[in-house]
Structure 1
Amino acid sequence: MEVIKHYEYLHEIPELGFNEFKTSEYLKTTLKNAGFKIQELDKTGFYTELGSGDEIIGLRADIDALGHIIDNIACAKHTCGHDAHMSMLLCAALKAKEQNIIKNKKIRFIFQPAEELGSGALKMIELGACDNLSAIFGMHIRPIQECPSPKAIASMYYAASAAIKIDIVGKAAHGARPHLGINAIDIGVSIIDLARKIYIDPNKPSSIKATRFICDSGVTNSIPSEATLVFDLRAQHNESMQEMKEKLEKIIVNMANTYDAKINYEYLINIPAAIIDKKLAKICEEVIVDTLGEDNLIKEQFTPGGEDFFFYPIKLGIPSAFMGLGVDCSPGLHHPQMQLNKNALENGVNLWLNLIKKLENLK
């Protein structure tokens, strides 16, 4: 299968966000050789189109790999399935052109960088990749535990995801004279303790937890003056995420005043929760049934994972839908030894093709 050939090549050239140069070049060259015109955007992101209708519908795939430390060596590796995503959309574009199935509408195939950084979708919007779109669709492979092959999910409800970095500046002092200092460890521990007491409506899943705490004076008898904290925040609803962030920010300000310290914070990641259009979700359900059979349809799945795709409907004000594809991914996404069933990728190609056909006939 062609999709496996593309997947195997792209899998071997993983590149980090906004640096997907070889990846982007391979995709663009393959499309150009098939007669596609490429609209290049910035360094690595681009799109191409088929059809000549007035209505433009976007299909998006992400192209970046994850950063890992394996055997004490920092490296890029495709452990989130983006190599599968771009291979499936690439093949769908090639087959759609070959079969001449797009006549009434215009389909825009969007290849987006830097999803793992949480900023690739925003960059594509800024550069005009989504201008004049009436709707946008995405797809992501799923872990075997929630969606084994050949099943597929019509609506993936991703959670809002944020990472906040907090820099604490206190005052150094000798361990024998703590009253002369402002202990950055004490401040960090207080922030962590109070953050654990942030309560959000339990009917709306959410979590907040410290994931990094760096503080070291260099010796055992000196009070450290500086520390860095990182929190990971998750919420199934955007309103819950906003409430959680506001409460954490209030804690940070109060602790700065309580300890007479300087505390700065910034959001490293700030991704919204899924917004899925019911009409488009129904279309995805029909496409899955037509392609894989009714027994292989999972109507919806909720996940605490984040996906920057949902900046598109929020920032552009257009309807969106997002499918999940079973490819027997194990042990799981982002695992350094993640494996998948390559043969299942053809299901993703066919889902894209059948979606295009269905969109063609919609009025």
Structure 2
Amino acid sequence: MKSIIEKLTPYLKKVFNHLHESPEISWEETETTNYIKELFKQKDCKISPFENTTGLTIEVGKGKPVIAIRADIDALWQEVNGRFQANHSCGHDAHMTIVIGTLLTILENGSPENATFKFIFQPAEEKGTGALAFVDNGVADDVDYLYGMHLRPMEELKNGRFAPAIGHGAARFIQGEIQGDDAHGARPHLNGNAIQIGAELVQHLNNIQINPMVPHSIKMTSFHAGGKSANIIPGNATFSIDVRAQTNEVMNLLSEKVEQIVAMLANMHQVSITTSTGANVAAAVLDDDAINVMREAISESVGEENLEPVITTTGGDDFHFYTIKRPNIKATMLAIGCDLEPGLHHPNMAFNHEVIPKAVEILTRALYKTAKINQ
């Protein structure tokens, strides 16, 4: 296996460079989907694109169990050197390259005889909605095991070290709108000042008390009210709230608190305040069997000295919707230490590319080991 991966490494560098230089934002990954499809159209595998969404799945082998591996394929939209553009600052270009490398290694080394390996190239992870769309399309219906991966920042994992699971937290983005009437600056008693209501909302969010033993945070991340006329008290505003929690239970409790605060402020100021949920990413639901397989794959591939314990992080990933929506799936995510700096989602994020072939070996070994123990 190592010799195959060594032979593939120069090719994988080209694949990564293409993906890195051709980012596409969530639900617009058309060229990325076509590129991956073209890589394998002459190979001995089953390619399944979708009519209603970007992304695709590729299968090799036959029979049960079905062992899947997921790569997220979308990029972020952010300002880079003064210009807004699509940008792979979360490592999805590396994730795709690793999964492509894993599939190529298996095609070269030999497909399983009594198992199916399913490679899932999923859109819109950054929106928190891609996994749910793939579940709705039946992608996970036959899956028994599911593996994912994510590059980790330097402060979480040292270069060349790997952890068998990532305990992601939950994330939820709430959009809101305050609707009232404008008033003259000399007559503040005639309306509810949307800016004042927003300030009170921030204060009440800061006053929420949840069990401090469970990591969580809630904060306003945008607020827009008023215009160019300084003598008008604005009655309308829009705002966004970012909510994070290490467990799904605490996330639901925080969301309930937001609803209660919004209802109280709307009643007190006699205005309408409406909210809606944008991205809604669940906390990790991990499986001990899958973690044990990944732990063994790490030790056998890069040595036990490079094996780290399960990582707990406040970040989120829609990967975990697969196991929430299909509880029978055994799943975990490989954590990859790669000197990632300055940090995830930084416009100039960089990492050590030498971890790509190492991650390919770990995940390839994990797939084979999973097939073997289930025969």
For 2:347, the equivalent position in structure 1 comes to 336
Q: Which residue of 1 aligns with 2:35?
A: 26
Which residue is 1:58 aligned to? 68
Q: Which amino acid aligns with 2:216?
A: S
1:117 has 2:132 as partner? no
Corresponding residue of 1:311: 321
Q: Which one-letter code corresponds to 2:249 in the other structure?
A: E
Residues 1-363 of structure 1 mapped to structure 2, 5 A cutoff: 1=9, 2-41=11-50, 42-317=52-327, 318-363=329-374
CA shift, 1:101, in A, is 4.2
Worse overlay, 64-73 or 45-54: 64-73
- TM-score (structure 2 length as normaliser): 0.95
Q: Aligned equivalents of 1:115 and 1:340: distance in 2? A: 20
Supply the AA of the counterpart residue of 2:36: L
**Alpha-carbon shift at residue 36 of structure 1 (Å):** 2.4
Query: Which whole-Å CA distance do the structure 1 matches of 2:66 and 2:371 have between them?
Result: 11
Deviation of 1:145 (Å): 2.2
- 2: CA distance, partners of 1:357 / 1:54: 13
The answer to whether the 8 A contact 1:156-1:322 is kept is: yes
Identity %: 37
The 1:27/1:293 distance shift into structure 2, 3 A limit, reads: same
In structure 2, distance between residues paired with 1:356 and 1:132: 16
Give the deviation of 1:306 after TM superposition: 0.8
Q: 2:53 and 2:283 mapped to 1: Cα distance?
A: 28
- SS at structure 1 position matched to 2:71: strand
* Letter paired with 1:352: L
Tell whether the 8 Å contact from 2:167 to 2:310 is kept in structure 1 after alignment: yes
Q: Partners in 1 of 2:42 and 2:27 — Cα distance? A: 24
Alignment deviations for residues 114-144 of structure 1 (CA, whole Å, 9 cap, x no partner): 1001101011111121121112111111112
Secondary structure at the counterpart of residue 339 of structure 1: coil
Determine if contact 1:101/1:357 at 8 Å carries over to the other structure: no
Bigger drift between 336-345 and 236-245 goes to 336-345
CA distance in 2, matches of 1:346, 1:71: 30
Residues 36-77 of structure 1 show CA distances to partners (whole Å, capped at 9, x for unaligned) of: 221112332110111112221211000001111224422001
Q: Aligned pair count?
A: 363
Q: Would the aligned equivalents of 1:154 and 1:322 in 2 still touch at CA under 8 Å?
A: yes
Deviation string 1:247-275 (CA, Å, 9 cap, x unpaired) is 11110011111111011101111111001
Report SS of the residue matched to 2:284. Answer: coil
Confirm or deny: 8 A CA contact 1:284 1:355 kept in the other structure: yes
What are structure 1's unaligned runs of at least 5 residues?
A: none
Using the TM superposition, name which of 144-153 and 301-310 deviates more. Answer: 144-153
Asked if structure 2 preserves the Cα contact closer than 8 Å seen for 1:34 and 1:94, the reply is: no
Partners of 2:46 and 2:60 within 8 A in 1: no
Q: Secondary structure at the match of 2:150?
A: strand
Q: Is the 8 A contact 1:4 1:343 kept in 2?
A: no
Partner AA of 1:105 in structure 2: A
The RMSD of aligned alpha carbons is: 1.1
- Counterpart code for 1:299: P
Q: Please give the TM-score of this superposition, normalised by the length of structure 1.
A: 0.98
Kept in 2: contact 1:160–1:306 (CA 8 A): yes
Aligned equivalents of 1:254 and 1:278: distance in 2?
Answer: 44
Could you list the per-position Cα deviations for residues 166-211 of structure 1 after superposition, in whole angstroms to 9, with x for gaps in the alignment?
A: 1001221101011112211111111111111111111111111111
